């Protein structure tokens, strides 16, 4: 009897437990299906959208983000073209028909190329040539394609945000999906449903620094709905969603000149620059006209772990003898050395394993000659007269130990808004190093040890000297505009906020930099189409057993009526062979001269009578 009661009790408990489980499962199913299908779990996952997406083949025709333009209106972020769009479902639509031949004939491509493209496609694709370039259709071709009425094959206007052959990629940057960052940066937009986990945000460059302004509207999407076998669902034909807004997305007008940018990138590639940068600034206001960084990268296939996408022009490096310009400015500004004061170089300092690059020494030479010949021994002596404190002070005055990119105190919801993404500040002495140590001081004098400067700061140093000693903030963007062309915000030209150096010292530095080219280490630039002034620099990389150097040449041209300030840097180059930075600078001047001549020619019909 007791045994039967125990068995019944166990059966009851089992049935009760199973009933609770079933009730829990039903409650969970109700919650999933009806309770919170649009905001499931803590992350707010939309299950309805997810279910629909499993049956959806779609392609983005326009990202919805605002454009990034050069100063003349050229769009770095793509232009609209008619293109052929192929959905995977088209494979079934074209089987056993002559459709592939008809389509190939219309678009002027071999049938095998179309077949191979569709066979490889796991998602909707745009038809490209074997080199990966988009095949642009005419209006007539587009009309003929669409008249075939092949499911999964359509010709429409498409805007590719990034093109393989585009320039200024490091400045423009790229976008990516980062759900956690979206939640952190845009909590209000996520809560209101304007953004979700699949929203793209800027990862680098202008895409990142101006992301809040470029976000714009929802992307334009073309979609098909298919069954489990990938066939179009009846009643759910092709869908096209497009957002129309009179004011958004906003666009950026940069200070860049696309033609100069193209020429500078061509120069970098011609000299075989593998790692380094080339910066061109407008001397009138410090605006960036062009900025090249190498190695190059593909904005559509970014390896975030690599360093290729980083903009080398805003990353700090030891500047070598370029820093002697700061030492000279401090010495002249404080009156501790005159340009005609003489120094003796025997080639060896006698302590700290410190020597001149010229082993036999330069003999007796003036400060002007020491700067032109880049004499280490003379500048070690000059630095001792100046002192560490004044070196730091003048580096700050000349903008070499602070970020120089344009900053706005308050812009929309952002405080301390910086235009240039990833810019580093530079440094002179390390915190743990004793600036009073003579060995530290003389190494600092020649731009080694702890001295770090960005190529952008170095180019802006030239602008500062040409402006009579007053450093300026460097602009990359001069305006944010509404879609209808009205201005949303203009960025004014601004001083850096440092006291600078006096006009007389700046004038002396200009003459000394000219002597570098006429009688010093920059002689190979003396036969350029324009007269050049500047300073060379060679910095040891410091790696164990490494013989590689960073080569610099920083200057401006033309000498009498300056237009451009330029910084050319070739990183991690062997200590023998061609000075790649100086060759890059020379070619840059040739290109700028040609571009300036072309742009100044009167247009046909506009010549004076």
Q: How far is Cα 482 from Cα 114, in angstroms, rounded to an integer?
A: 40
Q: Residue 71 burial (CB < 10 Å; 0-12/13-18/19+)?
A: middle
Instruction: Indicate the helix (H) or strand (E) that contains 222.
Output: strand 220-225
Give the residue among 96, 525, 506 at the shortest CA–CA distance from 329. 506
Question: CB under 8 Å to 152, separation ≥6 — which residues?
Answer: 57, 86, 87, 88, 89, 90, 91, 92, 93, 224, 232
Question: CB under 8 Å to 183, separation ≥6 — which residues?
Answer: 190
Q: How far is Cα 207 from Cα 176, in angstroms, rounded to an integer?
A: 10
> CA quadruple 366, 367, 372, 375: dihedral positive or negative?
positive
Instruction: Indicate the helix (H) or strand (E) that contains 169.
Output: helix 169-172
Q: How far is Cα 464 from Cα 66, in angstroms, rounded to an integer?
A: 33
Give the residue among 382, 542, 565 at the shortest CA–CA distance from 458. 565
Instruction: Indicate the helix (H) or strand (E) that contains 539.
Output: strand 533-540
Q: Is 321 a catalytic residue?
A: yes
Q: How open is the CA angle 77-78-79, to the nearest 5 degrees?
A: 140
The beta strand positions in 226-362, using DSSP E, are 239-241, 251-254, 276-282, 288-294, 342-345
Peptide bond into 508 cis (omega under 30): no
Classify strands 487-490 and 220-225 as parallel, antiparallel or unpaired. unpaired
Give the residue among 380, 427, 437 at the shortest CA–CA distance from 403. 427
Classify strands 363-366 and 342-345 as parallel, antiparallel or unpaired. antiparallel
Give 477's strand partners. Answer: 254
Question: CB under 8 Å to 303, separation ≥6 — which residues?
Answer: none
Give the residue among 387, 389, 375, 392 at the shortest CA–CA distance from 341. 375
Catalytic residue among 63, 223, 321, 481: 321
Q: Strand order in 125-126's β-sheet?
A: 125-126, 80-86, 153-159
Instruction: Collapse the DSSP code of 20 into the 3-class scheme (helix H, G, I; strand E, B; otherwise coil) and give the result.
Output: helix
Give the residue among 55, 58, 64, 39 at the shortest CA–CA distance from 193. 39
Give 290's strand partners. Answer: 280
Instruction: Indicate the helix (H) or strand (E) that contains 597.
Output: helix 580-600
> CA quadruple 457, 461, 464, 470: dihedral positive or negative?
positive
Instruction: Indicate the helix (H) or strand (E) that contains 111.
Output: helix 111-120
* Tokens encoding 368: 């002007």
The beta strand positions in 160-205, using DSSP E, are 175-177, 200-202
Q: Which residues are catalytic?
A: 321
């Amino acid at each position: 009897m007791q045994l039967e009661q125990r068995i019944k009790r166990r059966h009851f408990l089992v049935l009760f437990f199973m009933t609770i489980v079933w009730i829990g499962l039903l409650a969970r199913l109700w919650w999933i299906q009806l309770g919170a299908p649009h905001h499931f779990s803590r992350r707010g996952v939309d299950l309805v959208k997810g279910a629909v997406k499993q049956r959806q083949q779609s392609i983005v025709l326009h990202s919805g983000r605002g454009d990034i333009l050069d100063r003349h209106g050229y769009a770095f972020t793509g232009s609209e073209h008619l293109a052929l769009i192929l959905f995977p479902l088209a494979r079934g639509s074209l089987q056993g028909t002559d459709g592939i031949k008809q389509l190939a004939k219309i678009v002027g491509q071999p049938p095998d190329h179309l077949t191979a493209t569709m066979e490889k496609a796991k998602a909707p694709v745009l038809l490209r040539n074997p080199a990966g370039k988009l095949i642009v259709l005419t209006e007539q071709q587009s009309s003929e394609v669409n008249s075939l009425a092949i499911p999964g094959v359509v010709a429409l206007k498409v805007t590719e945000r990034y093109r393989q052959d585009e320039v200024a990629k490091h400045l423009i940057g790229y976008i990516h999906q980062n759900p956690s960052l979206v939640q952190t940066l845009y909590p209000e937009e996520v809560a209101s449903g304007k953004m979700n986990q699949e929203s793209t945000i800027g990862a680098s460059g202008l895409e990142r620094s101006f992301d809040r302004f470029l976000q714009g509207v929802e992307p334009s999407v073309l979609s098909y709905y298919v069954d489990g076998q990938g066939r179009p669902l009846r009643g759910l034909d092709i869908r096209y969603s497009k957002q129309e807004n009179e004011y958004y997305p906003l666009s950026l007008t940069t200070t860049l000149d696309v033609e100069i940018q193209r020429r500078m990138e061509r120069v970098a590639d011609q000299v075989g620059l593998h790692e380094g940068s080339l910066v061109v600034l407008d001397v009138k206001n410090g605006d960036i006209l062009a900025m090249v960084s190498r190695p190059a990268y593909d904005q559509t296939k970014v390896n975030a772990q690599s360093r290729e996408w980083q903009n080398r022009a805003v990353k700090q490096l030891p500047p070598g003898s370029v820093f002697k310009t700061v030492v000279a400015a401090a010495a002249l500004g404080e009156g501790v050395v005159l340009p005609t004061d003489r120094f003796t170089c025997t080639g060896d300092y006698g302590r700290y394993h410190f020597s001149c690059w010229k082993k036999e020494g330069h003999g007796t030479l003036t400060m002007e000659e020491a700067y032109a010949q880049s004499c280490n021994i003379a500048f070690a002596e000059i630095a001792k007269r100046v002192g560490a404190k004044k070196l730091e002070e003048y580096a700050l005055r000349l903008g070499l130990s602070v970020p120089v990119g344009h900053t706005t105190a308050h812009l929309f919801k952002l405080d301390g808004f910086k235009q240039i993404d990833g810019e580093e500040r530079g440094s002179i002495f390390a915190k743990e190093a004793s600036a009073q140590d003579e060995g530290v001081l003389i190494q600092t004098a020649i731009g080694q040890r702890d001295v770090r400067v960005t190529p952008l700061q170095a180019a802006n140093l030239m602008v500062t000297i040409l402006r009579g000693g007053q450093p300026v903030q460097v602009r990359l963007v001069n305006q944010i505009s509404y879609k209808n062309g009205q201005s949303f915000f203009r960025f004014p030209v601004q001083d850096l906020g440092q006291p600078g150096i006096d006009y007389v010292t700046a004038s002396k530095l200009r003459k000394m930099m000219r002597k570098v080219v006429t009688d010093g280490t920059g002689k190979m630039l003396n036969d350029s189409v324009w007269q050049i002034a500047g300073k060379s620099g060679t910095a040891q990389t410091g790696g164990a057993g490494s013989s590689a150097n960073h080569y610099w040449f920083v200057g401006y041209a033309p000498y009498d009526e300056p237009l451009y300030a330029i910084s050319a840097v070739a990183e991690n180059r062997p200590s023998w062979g061609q000075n790649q930075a100086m060759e890059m600078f020379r070619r840059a001047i040739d290109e700028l001269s040609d571009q300036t001549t072309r742009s100044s020619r009167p247009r046909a019909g506009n010549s004076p009578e």
